[in-house]
């Protein structure tokens, strides 16, 4: 049985997240159906670099596939894509070392969030449109408080009694691009709904309803404020999971430019 590395992109609007579920349409489930059809076997395993929630997109989700096939990687990619719906696309397929693991070998993960400052006819599925005027300087000031090893128990729907809520956040960048505010959130790993709740808090700071100096207090003691401010999944993209040898992105580029 051979191991392959798959890099894929998807629009998550129609799916209940990445991970396969009973009685729900998922991205992993669609890829597994395609592999089953192409390789004519149910004897295979597909592991993703991590979960994405319902409605969340991916610019590059990485997975490893263990399957017995005589197809070379470029042909396997082409045939899998032919069997996939149009909103999921395999970018590349490469033979991988048998010890490569899509989830365990990740060094860092990066997310992109897009906030639109105007109503858009074309990008509705890929942004969070906020009608209120946002102060990007205040948002950037608040973002600095999140960087480093912090306890994000107030920023997740996970149970802190069942898993550690400490996360090393390596970068939280906030920039303007036309009518968009782009946020890059990069870290060792992420908790359930953590990114969307952080974005929600930053948006509240941008509106002027919360001071940047209030963020450290929310990180230090439990608060239900982030849960109430959770940003919608439409604007969130998994930018990529990165491994040894991968080049981290530097420029912050919108998925769709909105002037």
Q: Which residues are known to be catalytic?
A: 53
- Residue 27 CA to residue 11 CA, distance in Å, equals 9
- Which residue's structure tokens are 């994405």? 52
- Residue 11 CA to residue 127 CA, distance in Å, equals 12
Task: Say how many C-beta atoms besides its own lie within 10 A of residue 116's C-beta.
Answer: 23
- Which residue's structure tokens are 């990529």? 240
- Residue 9 CA to residue 126 CA, distance in Å, equals 14
- Which residue's structure tokens are 């912090």? 150
SS3 label, residue 50: coil
- Residue 202 CA to residue 196 CA, distance in Å, equals 10
H-helix or E-strand spanning residue 185? strand 180-187
- Residue 95 CA to residue 90 CA, distance in Å, equals 14
- Residue 189 CA to residue 163 CA, distance in Å, equals 13
Decide the pairing of beta strands 108-116 and 128-129. parallel
Helices (H) and strands (E) in the chain, counts: 6, 10
Identify whether the C-beta of residue 18 lies closer than 8 Å to the C-beta of residue 237: no
SS3 label, residue 14: helix
């Amino acid at each position: 049985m051979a191991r392959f590395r798959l890099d894929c992109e998807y629009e998550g609007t129609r799916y209940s997240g990445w991970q396969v579920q009973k009685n729900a349409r998922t991205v992993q489930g669609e890829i597994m159906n395609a592999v089953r059809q192409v390789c004519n076997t149910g004897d295979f395993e597909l592991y993703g670099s991590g979960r994405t929630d319902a409605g969340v997109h991916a610019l590059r989700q990485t997975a490893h596939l263990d399957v017995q096939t005589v197809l070379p990687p470029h042909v396997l990619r082409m045939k899998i894509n032919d069997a996939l719906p149009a909103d999921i696309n395999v970018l590349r397929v490469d033979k991988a070392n048998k010890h490569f693991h899509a989830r365990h070998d990740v060094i860092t993960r990066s997310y992109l969030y897009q906030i639109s400052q105007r109503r858009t006819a074309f990008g509705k599925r890929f942004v969070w449109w906020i009608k209120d005027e946002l102060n990007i300087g205040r948002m950037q000031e608040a973002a600095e408080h999140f960087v480093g090893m912090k306890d994000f128990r107030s920023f997740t729907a996970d149970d802190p009694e069942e898993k550690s809520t400490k996360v090393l956040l390596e970068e939280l960048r906030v920039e303007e691009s036309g009518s968009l505010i782009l946020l890059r959130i990069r870290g060792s790993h992420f908790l359930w709904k953590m990114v969307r709740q952080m974005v929600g808090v930053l948006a509240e700071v941008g509106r002027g309803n919360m001071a940047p100096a209030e963020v450290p207090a929310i990180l230090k003691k439990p608060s239900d404020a982030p849960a109430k401010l959770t940003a919608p999944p439409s604007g969130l993209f998994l930018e990529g999971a990165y491994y040894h040898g991968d080049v981290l992105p530097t420029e912050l580029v919108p998925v769709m430019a909105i002037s």
